[in-house]
A and B are shown apart, each in its own frame.
Chain A
Amino acid sequence: GAVVSQHPSWVICKSGTSVKIECRSLDFQATTMFWYRQFPKQSLMLMATSNEGSKATYEQGVEKDKFLINHASLTLSTLTVTSAHPEDSSFYICSARDSTGKRTFFGQGTRLTVV
């Protein structure tokens, strides 16, 4: 089946630095990609929706200048957490949807710890 690869699977960074997370669709073209954030023992909260070649659409309350999303190709989207703080520590998950809009696949997630 289709696979979405997310990298890195975990990362530890110092407060004030930036971290980039990649999300790749390996065997299909992802017209749309979604970025979620999941706090411990909570549900996934959608952060933003991105279409290839367009600016991402952020959900209410998500700082677009802090969480930079780039969807430069049909197989790659990146999320950059800028000037990370400990409260940004979370599990970040991407998903990719194909051009039919009927199939969505999730990456394996990235555990970000800011110290």
Chain B
Amino acid sequence: AQSVTQLDSQVPVFEEAPVELRCNYSSSVSVYLFWYVQYPNQGLQLLLKYLSGSTLVKGINGFEAEFNKSQTSFHLRKPSVHISDTAEYFCAVSTYGGATNKLIFGTGTLLAVQP
């Protein structure tokens, strides 16, 4: 079975500062990795995903994440955050292959950007 751990429930940061949201996963098989953002009372929007290839993945809104297989991590980073980045961020994992494979979500990290 797969699991996802997001150790930080909340990350406060000042505007224009860099940020890193941590994600670690556990799986006995190879996986796909995802980061989603959720604004209040809305569904989820895909920020970026790692399927294969380069371990550094660039997504929307200036976010990027690096897949580290040895550390089983997929941390999300942004060099300079904006107030509008305030939202809940979820890391998720899915196993390879099959249209019915499930997304397993972490508990989420609230990114709170302060002016």
Q: Is B99 interfacial (CB 8 A cutoff)? A: yes
Cα(A98)–Cα(B99), bound, Å:
8
Asked if residues B43 and A43 are in contact (CB atoms below 8 Å), the reply is: no
Taking a contact as CB atoms closer than 8 A, the residue among B42, B102, B103 that contacts A109 in the complex is: B42
Asked if residues A108 and B98 are in contact (CB atoms below 8 Å), the reply is: no
Instruction: Contacts A93-B44, A97-B100 known; list 5 others, CB within 8 Å.
Output: A34-B102, A42-B108, A57-B100, A91-B41, A101-B97
Residues of B within 8 A of A (CB): 36, 41-46, 51, 90, 97-108
Q: Is A31 interfacial (CB 8 A cutoff)? A: yes
Residues of A within 8 A of B (CB): 4, 6, 9, 31-32, 34, 41-44, 46, 49, 51, 57, 91, 93, 95, 97-102, 104-109, 111
Minimum C-beta distance from B21 to chain A (A): 14
Closest CB pairs A-B (n = 10) = A101-B99, A106-B43, A106-B44, A108-B43, A43-B107, A43-B105, A109-B43, A44-B105, A32-B99, A107-B43
Residue of A whose beta carbon sits closest to that of B90: A43
Q: Contacts A43-B106, A44-B90; is A101 near B101 (CB within 8 Å)?
A: yes
Cα(A97)–Cα(B41), bound, Å:
22
Q: Contacts A44-B90, A101-B97; is A34 near B103 (CB within 8 Å)?
A: yes
Cα(A69)–Cα(B41), bound, Å:
23
